[in-house]
């Protein structure tokens, strides 16, 4: 297994099975995941190969583990818990595929764009499925970091914190922003954003048992639905406000009004999100073999010169310089 420790970023480590013979890939994955995720036991699969990549980036006392792998089952066994020298919570942002978290007799199902949390000190099973390639950003949260933010008598249960009606969308957006920024941002910035994420998660968990929590307004709910509709269609060339309005069930005029209320425009929002997506792909090691133009087309750009010009305006360099840097 190839282990990479960039000289200018010692807090980052990566494991990749691509240079290992297919029949041995799962065994190497098992070793890597034990290093990156404390002690876990993945179940053998019937696949002849197991292409997987694990990248661990330090976030002060915590870390983010960015993982890609095929569908499989992972356990946290009594021996795994006994062999661990520290405890944590796993805060998982699902990026591709689906995962069922089973702990304490509860099942927490995660689809792309959802965030769930569970405890390393208790038995659990993770059933990763639905997709040839699954992708998750798993935040390693030292127990005390979260416990210090919760009421002393709080009884933890595994939960999908992205469901919180008031701040669930903020948890998702913060987790996504941290996942995108972590590889290149200064560590102190990542640590601060990680703290914001934990504050939001603690608030959502504390609110979890309150039946009287205030419901979000219709405007807020519509705004969230609108952004989700746009984000799910960013790769569609020629995406229009009319198309999104129809999918959400509102008028095109109201689409523009909601974006204006948020201090932006529909076109600016789409452009920024597409550029952010292209920037992530340009830095993604598995995409290094793809041409810049192909990545631009994937994100809905039809004119490469227009893409390059807007990219430079947003990031201060050309797409090729961004990839090299």
**What pLDDT, in 10s, does the model give residues 219-250?**
776 787 788 889 888 999 889 999 998 887 88
Query: Between 205 and 152, whose confidence is greater?
Result: 205
pLDDT of residue 250: 84
Query: Between 234 and 48, whose confidence is greater?
Result: 234
Q: Are 315 and 275 in contact (CB under 8 A)?
A: yes
Q: Are 115 and 162 in contact (CB under 8 A)?
A: yes
pLDDT at 216 over 50: no
pLDDT of residue 5: 36
Q: How far apart are CA 96 and CA 83, in angstroms?
A: 30
Q: Mean per-residue pLDDT for 121-147? A: 87
Q: Are 248 and 222 in contact (CB under 8 A)?
A: yes
| Domain boundary assignment for the chain | 2-207, 218-324
Q: How far apart are CA 56 and CA 205, in angstroms?
A: 26
Q: What is the DSSP letter of 185?
A: S
**What pLDDT, in 10s, does the model give residues 60-82?**
999 999 988 888 888 888 988 88
Q: Which CATH class is domain 2-207?
A: mainly beta
End-to-end C-alpha distance for the chain, whole angstroms: 25
144 Cβ contact partners less than 8 Å away, ≥ 6 residues apart: none
Most confident range, picked from 21-35, 72-86, 170-184? 170-184
Give the predicted TM-score (pTM) of the model. 0.62
Superfamily of domain 218-324: Homeodomain-like (1.10.10.60)
Domains 2-207 and 218-324 share a fold: no
């Amino acid at each position: 297994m190839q282990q990479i420790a960039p000289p200018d970023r010692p807090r980052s480590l990566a494991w990749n099975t691509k240079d290992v013979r297919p029949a041995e890939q799962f065994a190497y994955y098992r070793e890597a995941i034990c290093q990156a995720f404390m002690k876990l036991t993945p179940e053998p699969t019937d696949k002849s190969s197991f292409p997987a990549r694990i990248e661990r980036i330090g976030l002060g006392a915590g870390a983010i583990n960015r993982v890609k792998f095929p569908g499989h089952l992972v356990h946290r066994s009594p021996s795994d818990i006994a062999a661990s020298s520290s405890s944590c919570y796993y805060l998982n942002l699902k990026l591709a595929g689906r995962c069922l978290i089973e702990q304490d007799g509860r099942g927490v199902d995660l689809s792309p764009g959802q965030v769930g949390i569970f405890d390393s000190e208790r038995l659990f099973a993770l059933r990763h499925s639905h997709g040839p390639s699954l992708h998750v950003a798993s935040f390693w949260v030292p127990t005390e970091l979260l416990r210090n933010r919760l009421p002393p008598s709080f009884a933890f249960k595994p939960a999908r914190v992205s469901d919180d009606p008031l701040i669930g969308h903020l948890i998702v957006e913060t987790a996504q922003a941290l996942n995108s920024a972590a590889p290149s941002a200064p560590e102190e910035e990542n640590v601060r954003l990680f703290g914001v994420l934990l504050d939001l998660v603690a608030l959502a968990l504390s609110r979890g048992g309150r039946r009287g929590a205030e419901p979000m307004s219709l405007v807020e709910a519509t705004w969230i639905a609108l952004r989700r509709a746009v984000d799910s269609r960013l790769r569609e060339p020629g995406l229009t406000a009319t198309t999104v309005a129809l999918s959400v069930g509102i008028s095109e005029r109201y689409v523009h009004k909601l974006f204006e209320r948020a201090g932006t425009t529909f076109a600016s929002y789409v452009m920024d999100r597409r550029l952010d997506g292209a920037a992530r792909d340009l830095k993604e090691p598995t995409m290094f073999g793809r041409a810049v133009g192909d990545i631009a087309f994937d994100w809905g750009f039809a004119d490469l010169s227009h893409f390059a010009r807007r990219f430079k305006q947003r990031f201060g360099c050309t797409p090729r310089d961004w990839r090299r840097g």
